Amino acid sequence: MAEKHLIFRSFGSGSSGNCYYLGTEEQGILIDAGISARYIRNGLKEMNLDFNNILAVLITHDHADHIRSVGRLGEYAHLPVYTTAEIHAGIDRNYGVTLKLRTARRFFEKGVPFELFGMTINTFGISHDSTDCLGYSIDVMGERFVLITDCGTPNDNIEAAIRTANHLVIEANHDEQMLLNGPYPTFLKERILSDRGHQSNDTCGELLARNFHPDLRHIFLCHLSQENNDPQLAVNTVTQYLESVGAVIGDGNNGTVLLRALDRTTPSPLFILK
C-alpha cells in the first residue's frame, strides 16, 4: 500500500479571498471559504479530488474574504461547516453570504479540543475586528499544523501555538512604511495598524524570532496585501528575524525551515508536510 502524505495547499490568500486545504492525497479539510466554490472545485480537480473528498470546512472568522462561498459549500456540496456559535451568528448577518447556512452548521467551543476525522482540532482567540477570530492548531499524522491569520496583535495563545508547531501559516499582511505612505485613506490605515487589524512583516518576524524552535519546518506567510506589501519583501524581512536567532532557511529538511509567501489569487504548489 502506498504511503500517505500530509499535504497543504493554498487556493487563495489575501483580501480577495482565503481558502486552504489540509489532508492527504485522498481526502482532507478546507480552512476558510472566501473564494468561489467553482475556483475551489477547480483547485481540487487539479489534485484529483472533488467535494466528495472534503470532510469539513473550518472557519476562522466572519469577514467576507473568509466566508464568501460557505453557503454553497455547506448547502449545495453538503459539507459540514465548523466554527463557534458566535461566528456562525456573524456569518448569518454577513451580507456577502447570499446563501445562508442551515443544515450544514456545526458548532464547537473555542479552546475546547475536539476530534474530526482523525484530526485533533484546537482553537485559540485572535485579536481582529470581526465577531470573533480563531487560530487553529491541528494534530494529524503525528504533525502539528497551525494557522494564524488576521492578527491585530499577538497574544500568549498565539506564541504558545508557534512554539509547538511543525508547520505554520501566519499573517504578514503589510510593510508598515508602504502602508503609511500608500494610497489608503487614513481611517483604513488606522484600522489595519490597530490592535484589531492586521499583522505587519516586522511584527510577524519578531513573533517568529521569539518563538522559533528546531521542529518548525515550514512557514507560509499569508494574507499579504496587494497594495501595501510585496512577497519578496515579506520573505526578506521575516528571514532577517529568523536568521538572527540561528534559523537556517532551506527546504524544510536537515534542520532547515522552508519559508514561502502564499500568493493572493493563484493556487500554491502542493507542499508535502510529511
Contacts for 2 with CB less than 8 Å, ≥ 6 apart:
none
Digit-coded pLDDT (tens) for 117-163: 999 999 999 999 999 999 999 999 999 999 999 999 999 999 999 99
Sheet holding 258-261, edge to edge: 114-116, 119-125, 134-140, 143-148, 167-171, 218-222, 258-261
* H or E, element range at 157: helix 156-164
- In the predicted model, what is the mean pLDDT of the chain? 96
Digit-coded pLDDT (tens) for 192-249: 999 999 999 999 999 999 999 999 999 999 999 999 999 999 999 999 999 999 999 9
* pLDDT of amino acid 160: 98
Instruction: Give the burial string for 211-228 (b: 16+ CB within 10 Å, else e).
Output: bbeeebbbbbbbbbbeeb
| Residues 231, 261 contacting (CB under 8 angstroms) | yes
Mean pLDDT over residues 28-54, rounded? 96
One-character DSSP codes across 205-249? HHHHHHH--TT--EEEEE---TTT--HHHHHHHHHHHHHHTT--B
Mean pLDDT over residues 55-77, rounded? 97
Model pTM greater than 0.95? yes
